[in-house]
Amino acid sequence: METLRGIIADIIFQNEESGFKICELETDSDLVVIKGNLPFLQIGETVKVEGIWVTHNVYGEQFNVNSFEKEIPKTSEDMEAFLASGLISGVGNATASLIVSAFGADTYDTILNSPEKLSEIKGISHNKAMKIATAFKEHFQMSDIISYFSKYGVGAKLAVKAYQKYGSTAVSVIEKDPYILIDDIPEVGFKTADKIGMAMGLGYDFSSRIYAGIIHCLKKATQFGHVYLPFEMLENQCADLLQVDVSIIAPYIDELDILSKGNICQENDGRRIVYLSYMFGCEKYIAKRLLEINKDECFIDEKNFSTSIKQFSDFSGYELDENQISAIKQAGQNGLTIITGGPGTGKTTIIRALVHFFHSCKRKCFLAAPTGRAAKRMTEACGISAKTIHRMLEFSGDESDDDSKLTFKRNEDNPIDADVVIIDELSMVDTLLMYHLLKALPNNIQLILVGDKDQLPSVGAGNILHDMIESEKFPVVTLSIIYRQESKSLITLNAHKINKGEMPELNSKGGDFFIIGRNNADECSATVVDLVTKRLPEAYGIDPIRDIQVLIPSKKGPVGSINTNFLLQQKLNPPEKYKKEVMLEDIVYREGDRIMQIKNNYHIKWYKKDRPESDGEGIFNGEMGEILSIDEKTRELVVLFDDDRCGVYNFNELRQLEHCYAITVHKSQGSEFPYCVLPLVGNPSMLMTRNILYTAITRAKKMVVIVGTREHVKYMTENDRHQLRYTGLCRLINSEAY
């Protein structure tokens, strides 16, 4: 490793997001080219760099920087050049010359320790002197912290966050315990903190490391849908993560519980189970509040009810049968009602009839769903505005976008102004969102929860609909009669067959449910691309981008959503001179691309395309749209979402967007698409299940095309294995009930 010292003479290239720079360094003897992670380094600064010499096949010899430190300018000339560089606010060429002329070699010490002396110079007031000193001090403090973090391969952005949190003490705080960063800086996860800790030489059994590992494992479990973990499983996962003997983990779990830092708690469910404290609090509150709402009963005026049902039938043209009327009446008189059923069983019709009935009673009714697409569908079906649950609750997030810290304007102190709330697609609602929903409901509310119990559970932690039904403590209306059956349509019929474990009917002449036999991954992939880009659009006169959705069980592999998106982007939205694009690592975002938001972002600005004066904040996981424009100067990308909102993204937020020509079945929940293509080749066996196939098929409105073999379909239809989720809601409901 070699060391160079000099002044940054020029910046040849820089990436503002990563901090990578190629610079000219003027040393005492030469002008050399250096490159590496050099964030916040500017022309005129004196630096010491460590690294190795490399030879570029075009640009020749360059110095590859591994670490760097900013140094105090040593000569009066260097100090004047530094002050005049523009790095210190309020100091230009003339002021820099005056300061250095007045204090010479003592300039650095004077500004840092006796800044009031600057006011002795004509044109510098006491206030200006203090501002110059503050900017000067912050610059070098920041530089020290950035240099410190760079030794551990940690980016400048986190270094800045650390400085904002700890100030000049940042280095000493981190030297003492780098794992404190996890709690104090939301952007820092266990892996980043552990990278620093291991590089510092802290032991594998360093106590803060073990505490942080326990919390990390529990948080990671929520990403797989778990609300808690069995004690023994947590022990083993922590031991694997931390590379320590499993025997040392248990005392730390117990100590975390005893210390009660708001981190974890233990419950005895016949065996020891461990929660993140906030997840346990959420489940316990949900159980208690659901039972409270369920106790309420509402009086129904029989005459008004009959009149309302007749009026609904008259204007809708739909004659309700006795089962449907009974379901509507039950929902109308209970404090809480669950309505569940598969596709075509009349869930939407019952919601429409309920809305009509409640309006006839002059009861204020709110409709909501977990996703924008599902809410839009409710609005179209019922004729009144439906919102996403987040927007109904008037979300307000924190800067970390950490769902556990999310707050809403609607809560116990400011409840929703409604008499009735109807939630559709309840299977998609996770524990945290259900908690916030229930906190925002007023007393004497009627709550109607609608969903398909056989759909996949929520992406987030929990299994709300399943646990509520399993508890047997709430009224449940199960719809089984198929009312919506398009002429000659097999989609609804086959969905119900699959749900019963029966083989679906395939390839009926003139039908809408087909299978194309492929058993090879490469052939399957090629067929999917051909179907989307050529065969289906040509046969049915449809738009391949807006009318066709590829649904795949898995993300990875030759037929996974990642590779399929790459192939479809090349065909459906190839590069053109008039199309702007931006590349982030290996992903190209291009104007015209179909994309999906993959995490909740409560701060993204949006506006209505046709009403620019209408604006707001928040784009949520699963929302889909099209890249409308890319502006390289402002480093902004605009996405036109399917509900006509335009979201404005900085380039550093692009990792929140994925291409969605193809999406996983999990990501498709709550959405419907005209034509669905389902490749079943090359997926992991754990994803080849009945409920995944059922969920995928029920997303299609006009046609399903499966690419695979009958054996694939048969295997998934017969495989009724459900992925285990550790949730405690059912148990807590039953314990609260007594």
- pLDDT tens profile 200-230: 899 999 999 999 999 999 999 998 999 999 9
Q: 561-564 contacts: CB < 8 A, separation 24 or more?
A: 561/662, 561/663, 561/664, 563/525, 564/525, 564/528, 564/529, 564/661, 564/662, 564/679
Q: What is the pLDDT of residue 707?
A: 97
pLDDT tens figures, 282-300: 999 999 999 999 998 888 8
- In percent, how much of the chain has pLDDT > 90? 50
Q: How far is CA 463 from its chain centroid?
A: 19
**pLDDT of residue 574 exceeding 90:** yes
pLDDT level of residue 373 (50, 70, 90 thresholds): confident
Higher pLDDT, 188 or 706: 706
- 592: nearest Cα among 611, 606, 571, 610: 571
Higher pLDDT, 486 or 702: 702
pLDDT average, residue stretch 239-253: 94
Q: What is the pLDDT of residue 152?
A: 77
Q: What is the pLDDT of residue 404?
A: 64
**pLDDT of residue 312 exceeding 50:** yes
pLDDT level of residue 140 (50, 70, 90 thresholds): confident
d(CA 83, CA 475): 74
Cβ atoms of 532 and 725 within 8 Å: the answer is: no
Q: What is the pLDDT of residue 34?
A: 94
Q: Which two tokens stand for residue 447?
A: 């709550």
Q: What is the pLDDT of residue 155?
A: 65
Cβ atoms of 551 and 696 within 8 Å: the answer is: yes
d(CA 309, CA 326): 11
pLDDT level of residue 18 (50, 70, 90 thresholds): low
Q: What is the mean pLDDT of the chain?
A: 88
Beta pairing, strands 636-641 & 645-650: antiparallel
d(CA 218, CA 279): 10
**pLDDT of residue 262 exceeding 70:** no
pLDDT level of residue 243 (50, 70, 90 thresholds): very high
pLDDT level of residue 539 (50, 70, 90 thresholds): very high
Residue 459 CB contacts under 8 Å (≥ 6 apart), including other chains? 225, 428, 430, 621, 622, 666, 667, 669
pLDDT-wise least confident of 261-265, 351-355, 557-561: 261-265
Express the helix, strand and coil content of the chain in percent, nearest 5 each: 45, 25, 35
d(CA 328, CA 311): 14
**pLDDT of residue 737 exceeding 70:** no
Q: Helix, strand or coil for residue 153?
A: coil
Counted residue by residue, the chain has a size of 738
Cα distances from 341 to residues 103, 239, 480, in angstroms, run: 82, 43, 6
Q: What is the pLDDT of residue 599?
A: 81
Q: What is the pLDDT of residue 510?
A: 73
Q: 500-506 contacts: CB < 8 A, separation 24 or more?
A: 501/690, 501/717, 501/718, 501/720, 502/717, 503/713, 503/714, 503/717, 504/697, 504/713, 504/717, 506/706, 506/710, 506/713
Q: pTM of the prediction? A: 0.80
Q: What is the pLDDT of residue 151?
A: 74
Cα distances from 325 to residues 171, 213, 359, 470, 477, in angstroms, run: 69, 54, 17, 25, 11
d(CA 347, CA 361): 21
Q: Helix, strand or coil for residue 485?
A: coil
Type of residue found at 572:
L
pLDDT level of residue 369 (50, 70, 90 thresholds): very high
d(CA 426, CA 448): 10
Q: What is the pLDDT of residue 396?
A: 72
d(CA 695, CA 689): 10
Residue 575 CB contacts under 8 Å (≥ 6 apart), including other chains? 581, 590
419's enclosing H/E stretch is none
Instruction: List the 365-369 sheet strands across, edge first.
Output: 386-388, 365-369, 420-423, 446-451, 336-341, 476-479
Beta pairing, strands 673-679 & 548-552: parallel
Q: What is the pLDDT of residue 15?
A: 75
pLDDT tens figures, 706-724: 999 999 999 999 998 887 8
Higher pLDDT, 160 or 91: 91
**pLDDT of residue 578 exceeding 80:** yes
Q: What is the pLDDT of residue 421?
A: 96
**pLDDT of residue 149 exceeding 80:** no
DSSP readout, 286-318? HHHHHHHHHH-B----HHHHHHHHHHHHHHH--
pLDDT level of residue 485 (50, 70, 90 thresholds): low
Dihedral pair phi/psi, residue 292, rounded to 5°: -65, -50
Q: What is the pLDDT of residue 380?
A: 86
d(CA 516, CA 338): 39
Cβ atoms of 524 and 682 within 8 Å: the answer is: yes
**pLDDT of residue 401 exceeding 60:** no
- In percent, how much of the chain has pLDDT > 70? 95
pLDDT-wise least confident of 202-206, 608-612, 681-685: 608-612
Radius of gyration for the chain, computed over Cα atoms and rounded to the nearest angstrom:
31
Higher pLDDT, 533 or 605: 533
d(CA 115, CA 132): 8
Beta pairing, strands 645-650 & 601-608: antiparallel
* Most confidently predicted of 176-185, 391-400, 415-424: 415-424
**pLDDT of residue 261 exceeding 60:** no
pLDDT level of residue 19 (50, 70, 90 thresholds): confident
Beta strands in 351-456 (DSSP E): 365-369, 386-388, 395-396, 407-408, 420-423, 446-451
pLDDT level of residue 399 (50, 70, 90 thresholds): very low
**Backbone dihedral region for residue 386 (phi beyond 0: left; psi -120 to 50: alpha; all else: beta):** beta
pLDDT average, residue stretch 106-128: 88
* Most confidently predicted of 75-84, 372-381, 567-576: 567-576
pLDDT tens figures, 158-175: 777 787 788 878 888 888
* Most confidently predicted of 9-23, 133-147, 405-419: 405-419
